[in-house]
């Protein structure tokens, strides 16, 4: 892997590999704002994807990518730990497979057109198009809110707060109030005040990629501080129930773990979470669903950049106390080592196989490079696998000792109201 510092806080990373027939280019823009402006950012992403000064219409954009062998371009926003990320992604077939040695430069040029030459730089942005994209985003949010699983997940994250709450806050009223100037101001902030990493994965020439990066991505130097990982400091317990006309109740629990990807024993915590609630053989699935039929589904997920663990389950509300008690019992089993060695080995093998598969996945390779760059960390996929091999029952127990329930949210089916 080759890394070049283009400007202060603007870096190029090239991972040369012949595993893929495509050339994948990612640009990650990182800031640490804790403002609840995810809706505004999502709208900006839609506007950047939709058109640019050179390709002003949907037809022009469609024709552009069709002419370039079905190449793709997208802009998305995410929150990873305390990192607010705008991710620009493009995937084009490698020119050597279609006998077109100009394709790589075209890919760089097209990305540059969309992210550096938006329509509003050259003329007033169309009010009708702006409202059309706002309506489209509104419909996407409404669809999410109509799904009990996503609604309850976001509501629990909002109650928990911190950066989980920032990501989950998709407020339609806020969307209605956003102006074109608001979007332009957000765009200017991201282009000029974020840490920028350009990541190229594919069978490419390093010098050629460097030449095109300098030509098409001439970002200014920037003096910015940045980070990605934080440990949740939440300590106030929140317990909330909300009624809704749905077929089953959903329980969402949020735990402070005091463990992040930067902790030496984080691999032990990951394995512990697998034992708790990731596999069909996991404690939660076996004890709550299989043995007692108290839930429709149940799982636990680690958010290693936040120091948080989520447990989610769909239940009949009349069983809520039993289910909550059983969840805590399974966590206590992890803390006290009351689980079979065979379950530890099964979970270890599963994670090793997943991580090995990740080494053949473009997105995983890109994220591995980016994560290690931002965190100044050397925990590669291969090294993580080696750390999984060292995990013991005792290290799992130790890693779980600080797990603490902070937020419990129930989206309750209305049919149970009189029970």
Q: What confidence tens digit (pLDDT) does each residue in 118-140 have?
A: 999 999 999 999 999 999 999 99
Q: pLDDT tens digits for 289-309? A: 999 999 989 999 999 999 999
The closest alpha carbon to 110, from 129, 91, 130, belongs to: 91
Average pLDDT for residues 17-45, to the nearest whole number? Answer: 98
Residue 417: per-residue pLDDT: 46
Question: How far is it, in rounded angstroms, from Cα 342 to Cα 275?
Answer: 10
Q: Indicate the domain borders of the chain.
A: 2-216, 238-416
| pLDDT value at residue 380 | 84
Average pLDDT, the chain: 96
* 8 Å CB contact between 241 and 28: no
Kindly provide the b/e burial profile for residues 109-137, where b requires at least 16 CB atoms within 10 angstroms of the residue's own CB: ebbbbbbbebbbeeeebeeebbeebbeeb
Task: Find out whether 170 and 154 touch, Cβ atoms under 8 Å.
Answer: yes
Q: How far apart are CA 324 and CA 328, in angstroms?
A: 6
Paired residues of 238 in beta bridges: 407
Phi and psi at residue 394, to the nearest 5°? -65, -40
Record: fold of 238-416: Cytochrome Bc1 Complex; Chain A, domain 1 (3.30.830)
For residues 62, 67, 71, 72, the Cα torsion angle rounded to the nearest 10 degrees is -20
350-377 CB burial, b ≥16 within 10 A, e <16 = bbeeebeebeeebeebbbbbbbbbbbee
Distance CA 137, CA 45 (A): 10
Which residue intervals of 232-293 are DSSP H helices?
266-277, 283-284
Asked if the 2-216 domain carries CATH number 3.40.50.720, the reply is no
28 neighbors 196 (Cβ within 8 angstroms): yes
- Which pLDDT score is estimated for 406? 98
Residue 359 has pLDDT above 90, yes or no: no
CA distance 88 to 75: 5
pLDDT (0 to 100) of residue 416? 45
pTM of the model: 0.95
Quote the distance between the C-alpha of residue 120 and its chain's center: 29
Q: How confident is the model over 366-417, as pLDDT tens digits?
A: 999 999 999 987 678 889 999 999 999 999 999 999 999 999 999 999 764 4
pLDDT digits (tens, 9 = 90+) for 135-169: 999 999 999 999 999 999 999 999 999 999 999 99
Give the count of beta carbons closer than 10 Å to the beta carbon of residue 178.
18
Residue 415 is predicted with a pLDDT of 63
Residue 334 pLDDT > 70, yes or no?
Answer: yes
For 84-116, write each residue's pLDDT tens digit.
999 999 999 999 999 999 999 999 999 999 999
Give the pairing type, strands 404-413 and 238-244.
parallel
Q: Which of 159, 307, 157 is nearest to 236 (CA)?
A: 159
User: Cβ contacts of residue 346 below 8 Å, gap of 6+?
Assistant: 279, 281
Please give the C-alpha separations between residue 175 and each of 48, 136, 301, in angstroms, as whole numbers.
17, 11, 30
Share of the chain above pLDDT 90, in %: 95
Separation between Cα atoms, residue 212 and residue 389, nearest integer Å? 42
Location of structure tokens 């400091």: 233
Residue 92: the pLDDT is: 98
Q: How far apart are CA 390 and CA 384, in angstroms?
A: 10
Q: What pLDDT, on a 0 to 100 scale, did the predictor assign at position 367?
A: 94
- Strand, helix or coil for residue 5: strand
Q: What is the DSSP letter of 319?
A: G
Task: Encode pLDDT of 178-194 as tens digits.
Answer: 999 999 999 999 999 99
Residue whose C-alpha is closest to residue 293's, from 253, 251, 334, 323: 323
Are residues 47 and 133 in contact, defined by beta-carbon separation less than 8 angstroms?
yes
- What pLDDT is attached to residue 58? 94
pLDDT at 238: 98
Phi-psi region of 376 (alpha: psi -120 to 50; beta: other; left: phi over 0): left
pLDDT at 45 over 90: yes
């Amino acid at each position: 892997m080759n890394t070049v510092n283009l400007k202060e806080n603007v870096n190029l990373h090239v991972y040369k590999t012949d595993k893929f027939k495509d050339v994948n280019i990612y640009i990650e823009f990182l800031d640490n704002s804790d403002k609840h402006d995810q809706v505004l950012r999502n709208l900006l992403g839609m506007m950047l994807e939709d058109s640019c000064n050179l390709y002003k219409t949907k037809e022009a954009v469609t024709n552009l990518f069709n002419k370039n062998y079905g190449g793709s371009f997208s802009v998305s926003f995410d929150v990873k730990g305390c990192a607010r990320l705008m991710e620009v992604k493009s995937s084009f077939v490698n020119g050597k497979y279609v006998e077109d040695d100009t394709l790589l430069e075209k890919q760089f040029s097209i990305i540059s057109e969309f992210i550096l030459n938006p329509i509003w730089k050259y003329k007033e942005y169309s009010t009708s198009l702006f409202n059309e994209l706002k309506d489209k985003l509104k419909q996407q949010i409404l669809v999410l809110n109509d799904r009990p699983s996503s609604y309850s997940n976001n509501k629990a994250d909002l109650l928990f707060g911190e950066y989980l709450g920032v990501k989950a806050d998709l407020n339609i009223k806020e969307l209605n109030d956003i102006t074109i100037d608001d979007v332009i101001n957000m765009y200017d902030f991201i282009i000029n005040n974020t840490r920028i990493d350009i990541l190229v994965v594919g069978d490419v020439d390093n010098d050629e990629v460097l030449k095109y990066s300098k030509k098409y991505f001439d970002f200014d130097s920037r003096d910015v501080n940045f980070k990605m990982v934080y440990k949740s400091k939440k300590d106030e317990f929140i317990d909330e129930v909300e009624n809704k006309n749905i077929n089953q109740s959903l329980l969402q629990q949020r735990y402070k773990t005091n463990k992040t990807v930067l902790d030496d024993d984080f691999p032990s915590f990951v394995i512990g979470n697998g034992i708790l609630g990731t596999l069909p053989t996991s404690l939660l699935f076996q004890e709550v669903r299989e043995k007692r039929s108290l839930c429709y589904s149940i799982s636990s997920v680690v958010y290693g950049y936040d120091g948080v663990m989520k447990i989610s389950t769909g239940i009949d509300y009349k069983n809520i106390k039993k289910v909550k008690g059983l969840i805590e019992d399974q966590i206590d089993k992890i803390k006290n080592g009351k689980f079979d060695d065979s379950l530890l080995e099964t979970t270890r093998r599963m994670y090793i196989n997943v991580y090995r598969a990740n080494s053949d996945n473009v997105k995983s390779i890109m994220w591995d490079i980016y994560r290690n760059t931002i965190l100044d960390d050397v925990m590669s996929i291969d090294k993580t696998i080696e750390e999984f091999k060292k995990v013991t029952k005792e290290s799992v127990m130790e890693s779980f000792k600080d797990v603490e329930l902070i937020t419990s949210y129930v989206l309750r089916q209305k049919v149970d109201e009189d029970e």
